Amino acid sequence: MSLLMIGCGKMGGSLLVRWATSTDQEITIINPSFVKAPSGVIVTQTIEELADKRFDIIVVAIKPQLIEKVLPAYRRYLANSGCVISIAAGYSVSSIEKLIGEQAIMRIMPNLPAQIGRGVSALYANSKCSPAQLAIATALTDAVGYTHLAVSEDELDRVTAVAGSGPGYAFEITRCWIESAMKLGFSPQTAKELVLNTLGGSIELAMTSIQNVETLRNSVTSKNGTTEAGLSALMQDSKLDTLIESTVLAAYERAVALR
Ligand SMILES: NC(=O)c1ccc[n+]([C@@H]2O[C@H](COP(=O)([O-])OP(=O)(O)OC[C@H]3O[C@@H](n4cnc5c(N)ncnc54)[C@H](OP(=O)(O)O)[C@@H]3O)[C@@H](O)[C@H]2O)c1
């Protein structure tokens, strides 16, 4: 099987690093500026270098606003029974069909921890995709972490709001927490280590425990204790619930607007 990746920046590059070592696809990338790729990956900079090659999978990893201009020229490089996989945020299957005609098309929405094999990817396939193509795409997303198969593009947008944008929420909440530790007198380095290790340990415990997160929270909250005092300031009559809910909803509404 052969795979062409158009664009190899932050996200394409993150996927490539994992795919190069975990799949038996022959991978070619095309990117105007030189990109250092893992060994075994064929690196090209111009479309002419592809000559008369045909690819079983073409991965679209350029910015959404470039797709209309760039993608049509690649139609001829797709094998007859090939499949286009787009990772572009908010660019719908029907918009891709308008550029290259009705094809087997999938959308994958990965998130940044894919870099370390701990990503969450939503995967949506249109009705032209065969079970074999879906299996190959699932193997690609499994190689970078956890895969959620979406049954509609709306579901893909909902996963984007929860998980695709999720690292942004996690990093921002972490930043606030680190700053609050610094305000209590810790150095930036110590504050970072205290917070990241607390978060890392809590998340690992939540992932391995048979107890749900609410039970785990209660188990560390004794009556009139320090955690209860902190949590009552954090939760403030459900204001935290409302804030997180509106965060995720805003991301979903943006994904819908981008369709
Ligand atoms: N970053 C994320 O967390 C994330 C998450 C999910 C999905 N995505 C999606 O992933 C896609 C890429 O995002 P990114 O963050 O990786 O952007 P990026 O770092 O800017 O990467 C885009 C790459 O495309 C290359 N490129 C530009 N024009 C090209 C062309 N005509 N042919 C081939 N390659 C071309 C650019 O090369 P030059 O630098 O040489 O111009 C650049 O390396 C976007 O559609 C985005 O929605 C990103």
Domain boundaries, the chain: 2-154, 166-258
- Residue nearest to ligand 1 atom 34, measured at CA: 7
Give me ligand 1 centre to Cα 34, in Å: 13
> Is residue 207 over pLDDT 90?
yes
Q: Which CATH number fits domain 166-258: 1.10.3730.10, 2.130.10.10, 1.10.238.10, 3.30.300.20?
A: 1.10.3730.10
Which residue has tokens 């879906």?
134
Mutate to test the pocket of ligand 1, among 5, 6, 11 (most ligand atoms within 8 A of CB): 11
Pairing of strands 145-149, 42-44: unpaired
DSSP string, 179-232: HHHHHTT--HHHHHHHHHHHHHHHHHHHHH-SS-HHHHHHHT--TTSHHHHHHH
> Model confidence over 153-162: pLDDT tens digits?
999 999 999 9
Residue 135 CB neighbour total at 10 angstroms: 9
Please state, in angstroms and rounded to a whole number, the distance separating the CA atoms of residues 165 and 160.
Answer: 6
**Protein residues with CB under 6 Å of any ligand 1 atom:** 6-12, 30-33, 61-64, 66, 70, 87-89, 109-110, 112, 164
Residue 251 pLDDT level (bands cut at 50, 70, 90): very high
* Rounded distance from Cα 21 to ligand 1 centre (Å): 21
Report how far residue 10's alpha carbon sits from residue 40's, in angstroms, rounded to the nearest whole number: 20
Sign of the torsion formed by the C-alpha atoms of 6, 10, 11 and 15: positive
β-pair type (145-149, 2-6): unpaired
2-154 CATH choice from 3.30.70.260, 3.40.50.720, 3.40.1690.10, 1.10.8.350: 3.40.50.720
**56 has pLDDT over 90:** yes
Q: What is the pLDDT of residue 197?
A: 98
pLDDT at 259 over 90: no
